[in-house]
Structure 1
């Protein structure tokens, strides 16, 4: 069970505990690699017991995904707020804010999206981008290179491309500006060149 799965109003104590767990994991992830962090480590840092952890999360990957979503939402960078009607337009500001958020938490996102990263976090990001891409393809049609591919497959290809853009960006040193990677990623989503 995660906070993103709840459709009803959640007890404030539950939200507080989830926030404690999320903050604990993010703090630990800034100190060491993700594969070195156990449930016991998170529970200890959050000052809760392991059974409390399991009342809220099944594993640290799901917790990490929720923590990243919560952090992105705090800075106004929730990618689920991008509307498909924007797909053929300029790069949405929320995507620039998301790229800025990633740059501001560079070591964490290099770990999450890197070779030994979080499959749950990457899968969640891929699903979000894929859903956006599919809605955009339905609304605007496919660019010529994807026209012969079934739309769900084309949307998955776009999502993979966007994640690939972010991963390749994170591997660069020096890191290009967030606006630039947002433009690159939006170009992959929209299938048309961006203004930048």
Structure 2
């Protein structure tokens, strides 16, 4: 991808995330996003057809960034990977946005994109690891199960009021991923 295109898309994604921390998503206009990103409205539409597609790309980018930091596992680590903690810190910083995106009134398009990205990350991580335990289960089923659990924990966490700290959510998610017979850490 042309570096200028990547830079513009990243600027638009960051602008949307920043604005969504300040105001409800429904009140943010394409003009607001373009202004914050330092581009004009026509530049926005050269890259995105609408705000929903931009949101899906922004949330995808966050998941992909965390995935890039995941280590290749030869055995089950003692605790959650730093990439998981970093991803949940991102979710925490954008909790209102995730609450809306993953909630019942959220966008089906955004939810499908987030689910698809996380499933791909999980599929690649499990397939590339040497950790036993899923040898007799098809990889797409493993990815769907882990993704469903992860998104369920994330949604339950961001819906809490008050929302527990990232460390608590990380412990909950790690425990769900390990299952009831996994070590409680």
How does the TM-score come out when normalised to structure 2?
0.73
Cα distance in 2 between the residues matched to 1:188 and 1:123: 22
Find the counterpart in structure 1 of residue 162 from structure 2.
Answer: 174
Cα distance in 1 between the residues matched to 2:174 and 2:91: 16
CA 1:136–1:195: 2 relative to 1, 3 Å: farther
- Equivalent position to 2:55, from 54, 61, 64: 64
User: Given the alignment of the two structures, is residue 188 of structure 1 paired with residue 176 of structure 2, yes or no?
Assistant: yes
- Equivalent position to 2:16, from 21, 25, 47: 25
Spell out, residue by residue over 1:154-190, the C-alpha distance to the aligned partner (whole angstroms, 9 max, x if none).
3212201110000001111222221222232233344
Extract unaligned runs of 5+ from structure 2: none
Considering only aligned residues, what root-mean-square deviation do their CA atoms show, in Å?
A: 3.2
CA 1:182–1:50: 2 relative to 1, 3 Å: same
Cα distance in 2 between the residues matched to 1:186 and 1:86: 17
Find the counterpart in structure 2 of residue 122 from structure 1.
Answer: 111
Cα distance in 1 between the residues matched to 2:52 and 2:97: 13
1:6-17 alignment, distance < 5 Å: 6=1, 10-12=2-4, 14-17=5-8
Aligned residues: 180
Find the counterpart in structure 2 of residue 108 from structure 1.
Answer: 97
CA 1:182–1:125: 2 relative to 1, 3 Å: farther
CA contact (8 A) 2:63 2:117 kept: no
How does the TM-score come out when normalised to structure 1?
0.70
User: Given the alignment of the two structures, is residue 95 of structure 1 paired with residue 84 of structure 2, yes or no?
Assistant: yes
User: Given the alignment of the two structures, is residue 160 of structure 1 paired with residue 151 of structure 2, yes or no?
Assistant: no
Cα distance in 1 between the residues matched to 2:160 and 2:75: 27
Cα distance in 2 between the residues matched to 1:115 and 1:64: 17
Cα distance in 1 between the residues matched to 2:19 and 2:153: 27
Cα distance in 2 between the residues matched to 1:135 and 1:19: 24
Cα distance in 2 between the residues matched to 1:36 and 1:185: 32
